[in-house]
Amino acid sequence: MELAVYNTQGKATSKKVKLSDSIFGIEPNDHAIYLDVKLIMANKRQGTHMARERADVAGSTKKIKKQKGTGTARAGSIKNPLFRGGGTVFGPRPRIYSFKLNKKQRKLARMSALSYKAKEDAILILEDIQLDSPKTKEYTSVLNNLKVGDVKTLLVVPENNTNVYLSSRNVKNTKVLEASQVNTYDVLNCKKLIISEGAVDKIEKLFS
């Protein structure tokens, strides 16, 4: 798959970039995508939720009434979940939601996500962007020049670029990632995937 390289003014240059079919042209595996996105979302959960069960609520441990002869059900503690102010029955407890997913399956999921974007013609190749200082106005100008200012975008840069990252931080519906941080969720969550020219080789080396 061959794509034109655009400059920051939004005009196509004479350069072309060929995307590897073994990464951007595979048959997408929906189940691998599902598992990888599930893992990414699970890793974001703190898992610190906790409800007070009968051992945790405050209350007397004295038997509240005699065992027999009251005509009602027997009760041994005011902390019984059946009473108002009692403990929660089988409430949530702190836990880790993460689970194991094989490296090959995660790699397949990311390549499937990239292939979906390639099939949808939702990939733009941009010349390596350089900003002298963090300027939100300059960053939004680049997006507008590419005619993607009103859609959700993901910009992939070859390596850490502080000025570009800080320039994009206050812009709604856009995100900047290094090539090594490309993941299934962020690729699928954007409408347009903008890949910096220098990041193409990094992505292909990462998945080769």
Question: If you write DSSP's letter for every residue of 52-114 in order, what string do you get?
Answer: --TTTS----S--S-SSSSSS-----TT-TTSTT-PPTT------------HHHHHHHHHHHH
| Token pair 């038997």 in the structure block, residue | 63
Residues 110 and 85 in one domain: no
pLDDT tens track for 93-105: 999 999 999 999 9
For the chain, the first-to-last Cα distance in angstroms comes to 16
Q: What is the mean pLDDT of residues 58-72?
A: 91
Q: What single letter denotes the amino acid at residue 41? A: M
d(CA 11, CA 8): 7
d(CA 95, CA 72): 38
Domain end call among 61, 96, 131: 96
At residue 10, does pLDDT exceed 90? no
Q: Which residues pair with 154 in a beta bridge?
A: 175, 193
Contact 182, 156 (CB under 8 A): yes
Domain limits for position 177: 2-45+102-207
Contact 6, 127 (CB under 8 A): yes
At residue 160, does pLDDT exceed 90? no
Position 128 confidence tier, pLDDT thresholds 50, 70, 90:
confident
Q: What single letter denotes the amino acid at residue 204? A: E
At residue 161, does pLDDT exceed 90? no
Which pTM does this prediction carry?
Answer: 0.83
Residues 109 and 176 in one domain: yes
Secondary structure of residue 125 in the 3-state scheme: strand
d(CA 84, CA 75): 13
Domain CATH code at residue 124 = 3.40.1370.10
Residues 122 and 32 in one domain: yes
Share of the chain above pLDDT 90, in %: 78
pLDDT of residue 1: 80
Q: What is the mean pLDDT of residues 87-98?
A: 94
What's the total number of domains in the chain? 2
Residues with Cβ < 8 Å from 14, sequence gap 6 or more? none
Contact 168, 187 (CB under 8 A): no
User: Tokens standing for 196?
Assistant: 């910096």
Measure Cα distances from 56 to 72, 86, 154 in Å: 26, 10, 46
Domain end call among 77, 96, 115: 96
pLDDT tens track for 173-195: 999 999 999 999 999 999 999 99
Q: Which residues pair with 174 in a beta bridge?
A: 153
Residues 185 and 107 in one domain: yes
Residues 56 and 129 in one domain: no
